[in-house]
Amino acid sequence: MVGKKPIILLCLAALIVIAPLVIFYGGYFGCVDCVAAKAIEKTGYEPWFGPIWEPPSGEIKSLLFALQTAIGAIIIVYVFRYYNRQAKGKKDE
The string of DSSP letters for 1-48 reads ---HHHHHHHHHHHHHHHHHHHHTTTT-S--HHHHHHHHHHHTT---S
Give the CA dihedral 53, 59, 64, 67, nearest 10 degrees.
-170
pLDDT (0 to 100) of residue 65: 93
What is the chain's pLDDT, residue by residue, as a tens digit (93 residues)?
Answer: 568 888 999 999 999 998 887 777 665 666 777 888 888 889 988 888 888 988 899 899 999 999 999 999 999 999 999 999 998 887 776
> Would residue 30 count as lying in a domain?
yes
Please indicate, yes or no, if residue 68 is contained in any of the structural domains.
Answer: yes
Specify if 2 maps to a domain: no
Give the model's pLDDT for residue 68.
97
In a domain, 3, yes or no: no
Q: How far is CA 29 from CA 17, 23, 61, in A?
A: 14, 11, 20
Q: Is residue 65 part of a domain?
A: yes
Residue 42's domain comprises 8-48+56-92
Per the structure, the count of domains in the chain is: 1
